[in-house]
Amino acid sequence: MKGQPTDAVIQQVRNIPIYQKALADGHFPLLEKPEIARGFPDNWMTPRLAAALASGEAEFVLSTGTNHARMQIIRPPYFLLRSYYELWSSHPDIAGTWRSGCRRVSLTTVLATEHVARINAARRGLEPGPVPTLDDRWLDERTCYLNLHLDPATWDRGEVLRMLDEIDRARRNHPQGLYHLDCSGYHLAHLVRKALAWNLWDAFPPPASIIHAYEYTPVNVRRYLRGHFDCPVIDLFGSTELGYLYFSDRDGRYRPHLDRMSVELLPVAHGSTIHELVVTSVRNPYMPLVRYRTGDCVRTSDGEPDPETIVQFCGRVQELLSTSQGPVAQGDLDRLVGDASDAVFVHRLDVHGDKEATLLYTTFTGEPVGTREAEALRQGLDELTGRRCRIEHRNHIPIGKSGKYAWLTAGGA
């Protein structure tokens, strides 16, 4: 039957309580996030898992919870980090420099930095300090975290100088001064803008590669980064519970990295060419997921449900915008904005019922887009959303509590 697990997968989940009904029925339905949480952790507990938790070979963690509910899961320590390193060491564009011993500097949400500081404090039996030192922010011998503030738009000159200095200190470890810059695309674009504005660009050591992997990175942000760095700019797609599933090459083409995994694509609505991702994975031996509905949306090159032809990871299912022409994803709005003007930096669509909407936007230069670009953008928005749309330039769009930007709000929230 289409989408059903192989005999090898069934053998690996045979003793797990959550799958007993599916095994008895001979059919595995889609696995939803609420079902994973219902009765947790007893619904996953086996003698093997209990022993792993007791020995420290497995641990409880929370998913990142960006713009959706956080979910408790069980996985081996450093599960996501090991998935990351494994992918880097075999990536066609960056494997060589990674294997040469490059350190990884991570510029992403302050929540990620705080998580690393908590891990390090727990190792020492202490509570994390209010402002983590650089020593507190090394996750392992290869990776340190830079950001200490929620909103990167509010970084001052002192913060920028500190981060550039920490990058420089990390790269000195390598014989050729190479390092990998791991980031949220938005955060790195903010750092570039501020370094340029304060004449600090010469103090920004050029990275061997850039990987953005924490949230959707808009078309214009990728253009901006490629315009300022002469190195591969790579996108990774994955999650806390699964590890990494796909990576782009330096030209933006996606390739699967489905070690001990398989993927199904299901249309989000009848006739829609947006598909949601359903994953079966035994990569995490303590919490194998069978037909897990991840909540992520993709588009393929021809609109068909072929996981080999994914060309865009375009947002979240629960954040789709309903229109008279069918659902619209974050990636659809982003492509429209990028086609209309490459000057737009952060943008957010505020929807007012089913008749009107307002696109708020900032630019890389701080100036509004030109009249022609504004009109092209407004007309495109009308057609895409089926609503009467306005556009408004802002000097600042606040970041969310998660440290990531929302692309869609209701009623101007």
- pLDDT of 221 reads 98
Per-residue pLDDT of the chain (413 residues; tens, 9 = 90+): 568 999 999 999 999 999 999 999 999 999 999 999 999 999 999 999 999 999 999 999 877 544 445 789 999 998 988 898 999 999 999 999 999 999 999 999 999 999 899 989 988 888 888 999 999 999 999 999 999 999 999 999 999 999 999 999 999 999 999 999 999 999 999 999 999 999 999 999 999 999 998 889 999 999 999 999 999 999 999 988 999 999 999 999 999 999 999 999 999 999 999 999 999 999 999 999 999 999 999 999 999 999 999 999 999 999 999 999 999 999 999 999 999 999 999 999 999 999 999 999 999 999 999 999 999 999 999 999 999 999 999 999 999 999 999 999 996 54
Report how far residue 402's alpha carbon sits from residue 291's, in angstroms, rounded to the nearest whole number: 27
- The span from the CA of 314 to the CA of 254, in Å, is 13
The Cα–Cα gap between 316 and 277 comes to 10
pLDDT at 197: 97
How many other CB atoms are found less than 10 A from the CB of residue 308?
A: 10
What is the phi-psi region of residue 299: left when phi exceeds 0, alpha when psi lies from -120 to 50, beta otherwise? beta
Of 249, 266, 200, the residue nearest 228 (C-alpha): 200
Other Cβ atoms less than 10 A from the Cβ of 254: the count is 21
Residue 129 has a pLDDT of 85
Cα(253)–Cα(361) distance, integer angstroms = 28
The pLDDT assigned to 64 comes to: 56
Cα(369)–Cα(344) distance, integer angstroms: 8
Terminal-to-terminal C-alpha distance of the chain: 44
Cα dihedral 202, 208, 213, 219, rounded to 10, equals: 60
CA distance 401 to 150: 8
Measured in whole angstroms, how far is the alpha carbon of residue 2 from the centre of its chain?
A: 29
| pLDDT for the residue 68 | 46
* Residue 274, φ and ψ in degrees, nearest 5: -85, 130
**How confident is the model at residue 218, as a pLDDT?**
97
pLDDT, position 28:
97
Distance between CA atoms of 157 and 398, rounded to whole angstroms?
19
d(CA 326, CA 385): 9
Bridge partners of 265?
277
Total-model pTM = 0.94
Q: Any bridge partners for residue 299, and if so which? A: 274, 312
What dihedral do alpha carbons 105, 108, 110, 115 form, nearest 10°?
Answer: -70
**Which helix (H) or strand (E) covers residue 410, if one does?**
strand 408-410
Task: Output the pLDDT for position 69.
Answer: 57
Backbone angles phi, psi at 139, to 5 degrees: -75, -40
